Amino acid sequence: MRQLLLELALPPPPTLESFCAGRNGAALQALRGALADGERFVFLWGPGGSGKTHLLRGFAAAAGAVYVAAASADWTQAEGLPAAAVDDVARLGSAGQVALFDLCNSLRAVGGALAASGEAPPAQLALRADLRSRLASGIVLQLHPLSDEEKATALRRHAAGRGIALEDEAVRYLLTHFDRDMGTQIAALDALDRYSLERKRPITLPLLKEALSLLSPRAGSG
């Protein structure tokens, strides 16, 4: 059911402007500062679903930089660029750690910017000591997942931007029946917007259940 829905409406590319900050306003401010005259190295840490990937992709887009997923890092992408975003650094192997250490040094030398992330602060990651030191040399901030109330507010804000008046029952249903990360939630809402336009009906709980029942025999069973 979720797979089919997401095929209809993929989430828009992450940007700093579309990030739902919640308690993470300081992280957003730090990344914007790195794009201007502030501290140029920012390390963000927190559990999955706290927004690390969204922020790093948004930072890379705003900086005209490259986003590197540590699990499948291609360091040639970052060569010669003034900034880089490296996600989930704890997954780097030994060669990747050397490459990131060299990248940190080259960016510092030219006044470049680096945004990186992990599930713990640099000092607690199983990385080379010199790399941990480089990653901790700038701003280190913890990210917090959005509360259900913050997610509901973000969904209503996104809906309002599309001219949708979203009922409270529909918000609760989305949060209950879909993966709770905001990318999935926004994708589901955008798909429902398309369906409601095709049917020329507002998004209500009955329409939401109807749309899901058409997408999958299992949809709407909850």
What pTM was estimated for this model as a whole?
A: 0.78
pLDDT of 10 reads 59
pLDDT of 188 reads 80
**Exposure string (b/e) for 25-48, b if CB count within 10 Å is 16 or more?**
eebbebbeebbeeeebbbbbbbee
- DSSP label of 136: T
Measured from the Cβ of residue 176, the count of other Cβ atoms closer than 10 Å reads: 10
Residue 181 phi, psi (nearest 5):
-70, 150
- What are the per-10-residue average pLDDT scores of the chain (222 residues)? 48 84 94 93 93 95 92 81 94 94 94 96 97 97 91 86 85 82 78 84 86 54 34
pLDDT of 3 reads 46
pLDDT of 44 reads 98
CATH architecture under which domain 25-142 falls: 3-Layer(aba) Sandwich (3.40)
Q: Where are the domains of the chain?
A: 2-12+146-215, 25-142
pLDDT tens-digit map of 144-169: 988 888 889 888 888 888 888 888 88
Single-letter amino acid, residue 57:
R
pLDDT of 13 reads 85
CA atoms of 56 and 118, how far apart (whole Å): 11
Pair of tokens at residue 215: 């997408």
